[in-house]
Amino acid sequence: MKQTLLAIALCAGMLVMCTTAWADPPASSGMVIRFQDTFATSVGDGRTGIFAVAGLDVDGLRQLCTPECDELGEGCPDFELIDVQDVVNPSDILLFMDNLTGEDLSASVWPILPDTFCNIINSFAPLATGTVDLQGTDNDFFAFAIDHDRANAYGWAFRGDLTTSNDGTARLNAHFRCLFDPPQSNFCTTHVNLK
């Protein structure tokens, strides 16, 4: 009897799963807003002596360092697209959380040297290049813009297998996390590993 009931329950469950119409979520539901935006970031780690960039390829990084790229963004390269999901708090529309997801973003790893960013990018070859996947969160996007007592945790991580300058393969793991705790204190950690 138990076997018969189990078989009936499994068949009923399979029937429900097979007849359920699966669909992508709507772009906006009033509380959740989904869209794509451009994004690039860099994360440095003094302990490992390297910094990693995601969301812009090497040519784009070098273009950032040209006189044609001005502070208004004219003549600058486009950052790469990521998916963004904003979750709005129904009791406070100025309190919303961001979720960031990027797949196959261009990435490069560089040495940290006592020089400017542009001199490093233009004078040295990257230690490794390739693509990474990125995940990020921000639990109170307007924490810095509004006078309130809420704390904010934010940051992102990206990882992927890169090709090294000697044609080997190395795994990149990079993350940046911050905690903003009013009044105006900020605690951040960064880690970049290439192994």
Residue 178 belongs to some domain of the structure: yes
CA dihedral 73, 76, 77, 83 (to 10 degrees): -10
Please answer whether residues 108 and 80 qualify as being in contact, where contact means their C-beta atoms are separated by less than 8 angstroms.
Answer: no
| Residue 36 structure tokens | 């794509």
pLDDT of residue 100: 96
pLDDT of residue 51: 96
Please answer whether residues 33 and 88 qualify as being in contact, where contact means their C-beta atoms are separated by less than 8 angstroms.
Answer: yes
CA dihedral 147, 148, 150, 156 (to 10 degrees): -20
Residue 19 belongs to some domain of the structure: no
pLDDT of residue 184: 66
Residue 45 belongs to some domain of the structure: yes
Residue 1 belongs to some domain of the structure: no
Q: Distance between CA 162 and CA 108 in Å, rounded?
A: 8
Residue 63 belongs to some domain of the structure: yes
pTM above 0.85, yes or no: no
Give the range of the structural domain holding residue 119, as residue numbers without chain letter: 25-194
Residue whose C-alpha is closest to residue 79's, from 105, 100, 99, 56: 56
Residue 9: count of CB within 10 angstroms of its CB: 10
Residue 8 belongs to some domain of the structure: no
Question: Total domain count for the chain?
Answer: 1
CA dihedral 130, 119, 136, 83 (to 10 degrees): -60
The DSSP secondary structure of 67-98, one letter per residue, reads TTS-TT-TTPPPPEEEEEEEEEETTEEEEEEE
pLDDT of residue 44: 95
| Residue 58 structure tokens | 């090497």
Residue 2 belongs to some domain of the structure: no
CA dihedral 152, 81, 70, 192 (to 10 degrees): 60
pLDDT of residue 73: 82
pLDDT of residue 186: 80
Residue 20 belongs to some domain of the structure: no
What is the mean pLDDT, run by run of 10 residues, along the chain of 195 residues? Answer: 39 39 56 92 95 97 92 90 90 83 98 92 96 94 67 92 97 94 80 97
Answer positive or negative: Cα dihedral of 120, 124, 128, 132.
positive
